[in-house]
């Protein structure tokens, strides 16, 4: 099945070409270099606002989509900072503001990304806000593929990128 008559719905694998811009109009991401983004619709693989706007679209359809922070990466939380002691880092670690660092959440065991906000004598201030928190996102999206998800993809909760070649 080629997916030409399918529309974006839960348990379909969707391929989109996209560009992403912020309020100032500057494009900060696009599929130009890496090719179309492929994901399992309804599996929370992409931000909720974009996923919701894609429902019902078909191959070849193009749409401008505006996603507010609450449906993207959340509002910016000025209290989502933590001072991490300097000795938590390797002595020879080259640390600088803006650098992304991955931590493991002690409660959930999941990886959490933070960004160095400031380097102080007694520690490193880490900002745990997503770098796009508080931003309204402007997508220009074109659906370039829709196919039924394979049972394994549904079970695993994500698209198997090479499955469409099978």
Q: Facing residues of 113 across strands?
A: 102
Q: Residue 150: which residues within 8 A CB-CB, separation 6 or more?
A: 160, 163
Q: Which domains does the chain have, with CATH numbers?
A: 12-73+132-165 (3.10.50.40), 81-127 (2.40.10)
How many whole angstroms separate alpha carbon 45 and alpha carbon 14?
A: 11
Residue 47's SS3 state is coil
Q: Is the pTM of this model over 0.75?
A: yes
Q: pLDDT tens digits for 110-134?
A: 898 999 999 998 899 999 999 999 9
Confidence bin at 89 (pLDDT 50/70/90): confident
Residue 34's SS3 state is coil
């Amino acid at each position: 099945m080629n997916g030409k008559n399918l529309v974006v719905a839960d348990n379909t694998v969707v391929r989109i070409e996209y560009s992403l811009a912020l309020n100032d109009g500057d494009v900060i991401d696009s599929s130009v270099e890496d090719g179309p983004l492929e994901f399992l619709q309804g599996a929370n693989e992409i931000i909720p606002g974009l996923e919701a706007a894609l429902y019902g679209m078909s191959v070849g359809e193009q749409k401008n989509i505006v996603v507010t922070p609450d449906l993207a990466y959340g509002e910016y939380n000025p209290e989502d900072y933590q001072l991490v002691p300097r000795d938590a880092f390797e002595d020879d670690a080259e640390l600088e503001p803006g650098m992304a660092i991955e931590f493991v959440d002690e409660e959930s065991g999941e990886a959490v990304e933070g960004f160095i906000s400031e380097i102080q004598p007694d520690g490193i201030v880490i900002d745990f806000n997503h770098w796009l928190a508080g931003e309204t996102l402007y997508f220009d999206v074109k659906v370039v593929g829709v196919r039924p998800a394979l049972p394994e993809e549904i079970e695993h909760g994500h698209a198997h990128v090479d499955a469409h070649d099978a």
